[in-house]
Each structure stands twice: as structure tokens, then as C-alpha cells.
Structure 1
């Protein structure tokens, strides 16, 4: 095998390309060679990037042209008591972030949830989507293709499910736009987030549509999925897991924890999360759900770009006779406990902290449990921030924690 310095020199000389280095050395040596190549520039020091604690080959399915690893500070919030249909008990929620005060905020919200006896959670539905677009000759032909799709779910399911041992096709809904036909396929992908599974299965189903109708596929993703972009269809129809969490915090606990009243927190939610979001034409009506989802995604090996959909959350708050009612509903939380980044060593360890590494028994239960835990974490974050705003101590909290 070739050493790192020789490989770097061969890249400089144009004999090798960056992506070819693993053909001539093991993954760690290839990464070291790339660091040597980059560090030749004045002022570049990659010593810390090169100090990672797992074999580079463990990341071969997750990254190309690897040079090392980025380390993000990792904290935990909790214990967070969750009373769900898939998740049950108290957990510590790992959060990877560079934003001071975030973990402290979620931790304070978790404390309030403990005082209330725990958060109730439930998965409302699950379904990963992929929506190819087909071209036809005119609108009448497009309508005929759409009719064929509506009556052929069983045939499409047979083709799609032949590509996977776990995924199940639940829906195939056609949408006509002129001479274009979009078909939004919805899959139960069990414990996997399942985007790749859905793409492969949809390609097989699209072959059937092309063979049985005049339609010709233009792209396996036509953006009606919708993947990693703000979209009303995800906020309404859902994507991944649709999950909700709620809690009732007694009035005295509200005042003790946040120095304010249920009525004041409810007013902040109405004027900020509801009216302010409506005026801004937001797809999410919440305080900072993306903060918790993003930090948890980094820690737990989820696809970070899916935070876009994960932020389409609605937070509702009511001042009731028995205290403060707070709920958060996340319609499009794309999560899984197998596949993707969940197999990376640090992310796998973080999943072990909450007891959800690997597949569930029966399949899908671990993915559901993870969604419920993250919904409870988002609830803790919403409760804490709304309390800080109502109590007017948000700025002092950020100052104390370095932000």
C-alpha cells in the first residue's frame, strides 16, 4: 500500500484524483493524504480535523473524499419523562450544538415537564415520500395516466416492494399539471428514515407506469415529495413521521419555574407563534423547534437537511383551570434508527443513550420511539423559550451561557 505523502504528491502531479486514493491505500491513509495536500497551503493546519476516534472506513458510506471529522460539542438535556405509545420512561436527550443556552433551555423545559409528571406523545402517521414526474402528450393523456395510477396501487406496490425487504407502499397519489403527471408515493419504511429506500422502490414502480401507459418519466424526484425544501404539502400531508407531544403544567409550577403566569405564556404564543408566523407566511408556527431538531439530528446521525421539514411544527398553548397546556405537533419529522448516519460510531453511541440504536421489534417501533422522544424534546424547548419570553429573561440567559 502507498503511504500518504506519496499519494499526496501523485495528486499534485495529476496522476491521481482525490476520489481514487482509496484504490491505492486504506481509508485512513487516503484521508491523511488529502490533509497533506490541503495543508500545503500557507496557514492551513488540519491537526484537529485529523484527530478522529473511529476508523475512516466506517464512514465510507457517509462521505466522499474524507479528510477527517468535524467535532461539534455534545450535551444532554434531561431526564426527560416521555409517556408515549412507542417511547416510555425518562431519557437523556443528546444535543450537538454550537449555540450557547440551547441545551440549558431544553434542560429547563425538561425540568418543567418532570414537574408536570411527564409529556404525552404519539405518532400520528408515518410515510416517507418520493414523487417522480412524467411527461405526456397533452392534458387528456395526462388525466388518463392519473386515472390508471389511481386504479393500480396493487401493481405498483408489487413492483416497489420487490426492491426492499422492509418497505411497504401505502399510497400513490397522482397530480396533473398540464401535460405533466406527478405521482406522490408514500412508504412505510419501518425503522429507517427511508429516503433512499423510497427512491429505489419508486424507480421500480415508475417502470410499470412507463410500460403500461404513454407516460415517460422525466425525473424520479419531481419536487412534490417534497424533500429538504419548505413545502406546504409536507406541513399538511406529512412526511416521515407526523408526531405530537403535550403536557399540562400546574399554575404554581409555571410561576415557580418561569416566574410568570400561564396566561402570559399563552399570550406570547398567540402573538408570536401564531400571529407573527401568520404575518410572515411561515410554514411553521413555533418558537424554535428547528433548534432542538437540528441539534438532535446532528447528535443522532439523522439527515441534517431534513430539519427543513422538521421545523414545520405548530405549538399551541392554553391557560386552563388546571394550569398551562402546551402541545407541539411536528407533521414532517424524517427520522430513523438504522441506515444513514446512525451507524457512525459517535452517533450510534448517542442513540444508545436513549436506548434506540438499531432496528426495533417489531420493525418500526424504534423509529416511532425516536420521533416521540424528539417531539418531547421540542416540547421542552418550546415551553422553556416561551417561558423566558413571558418572564423577560431571555437576554440574561443568553448572556450567562455565552451568547
Structure 2
């Protein structure tokens, strides 16, 4: 399609079944990359799923420099939040209408319904965690925060937010989506 050759890019001898449908879109080959070990790292972290604790982590790092440079790293970390966000921009014919839509999005009694549109129609792996909104004139900027498990989840969250916006448009047909990701 591009007119460029993939000559020299190895294709045979790789277990494509291990990645198809999981972590690689449109594989066309593979490359060999030197991998070194950094660590073990001393990681001091806290998450919502565990208490403060020390644990040793071995960090594999693809690199071409001397891995010995990384053997004395000590990393202190704090788990702040685990979410992928999308912040669309939507516009209304009036400030009053924008405010009504913002109140609808932030109303806790609507959250479960909106969550169903985000999750069920787009991905079984992403789930809606929160919706916060800002308003500026006739525009509102809802920020959808979603959990995505082990995936980065940008695409599934974008699809889910699009589903929510389509549902919101049935409640507010005068809403115009300016962009799926604004702020």
C-alpha cells in the first residue's frame, strides 16, 4: 500500500498466536532488540489495592547502552490514580442548556446508566470510574475517567465515551460534539 518494501524484516519463526488479538495490531514482522536487566529495583509504592510495602522488582529494559549503568537504581513511588481519561468538548445553543447537560452528567443517579453505555457497548475491559465537568459559556468539558486493567486502553475508552455521547445526544439533541478529546 505504501510502495515501501519490507525486505529484511523477519516474519517467519515468530509465535504470532501469542500476540494476535491481544497486544499488537497488524503485525508485519518482528525485530530483535537487546534486553538488559535493570535492578533489582527497590520499589516503595502504595496503591488502592495494597498497603505500604517494600518489594523487589526486576526491570527488563530494551536498550543498547550498558545495562550496568542501571543496576543501582532505587525508585520511590506513590500510586496516585489508575485511569485513562477522555475529555470531549460539547457545545449547546445556550448557557442554560449547557448547564442542564452538565448537571445530568454529574448526577449520581445517572452514573450507572452512563457506565453501561461506556462499558457494555464498547469493551468488557474498561469501566467508568468518574465523570467531572467544567463549563465555559455554552461549552462543557466532561472528563470521563475509566479503569482499563492491564491495558493502556486509549481506544476502548474513546469508543466508550463516544457511546456515552451518543446516548446523551438522545437526551440533549441540540448538543454538538466539537471533539472527542479536548482538554
Alignment of 1:64-83 (within 5 A): 64=26, 66=28, 68-83=29-44
Give the 3 Å change call, closer, same or farther, for CA 192–38 of structure 1 in structure 2.
closer
Give the whole-Å Cα distance in 2 for the aligned partners of 1:82 and 1:65: 34
Q: Secondary structure in 1 aligned to 2:80?
A: strand
Distance 1:72 1:65 in 2: 16
Cα displacement (A) at 1:51: 6.0
* Counterparts of 1:53 and 1:180, CA distance in 2: 53
- Identify unmatched segments of 5+ residues in structure 1: 1-17, 20-33, 40-45, 114-118, 225-403
Aligned pair partner of 1:97 in 63, 72, 78 = 63
Structure 1 match to 2:116:
158
What whole-Å deviation, never above 9, does each CA across 1:350-381 have from its counterpart, x for those lacking one? xxxxxxxxxxxxxxxxxxxxxxxxxxxxxxxx
1:218 — aligned with what? 178
| Number of equivalenced pairs | 172
* Residue 65 of structure 1, CA deviation: 7.4
* Residue in 2 that maps onto 1:208: 167
Aligned mate of 2:98, from 142, 167, 176: 142
Normalising by the residue count of structure 1, what TM-score does the alignment of the two structures yield?
0.37
Q: Does 1:190 align with 2:149?
A: yes
Structure 2 gaps of 5+ residues are none
2:71 to 90, 107, 122: 107
Match for residue 356 of structure 1?
none
TM-score, length of structure 2 as denominator length: 0.73
CA distance in 2: counterparts of 1:130 and 1:136, whole angstroms: 19
- How far apart in 2 are the matches of 1:160 and 1:105? 44
Distance 2:13 2:138 in 1: 53
- 8 Å CA contact 2:141, 2:182 repeated in 1: no
Q: Choose between structure 1 and 2: higher helix proportion.
A: 1
**CA RMSD for the aligned pairs?**
3.1
The structure whose residues are more often strand, as a share, is: 2
The change in CA–CA distance for 1:174 and 1:84 in structure 2 (over 3 A counts) is closer
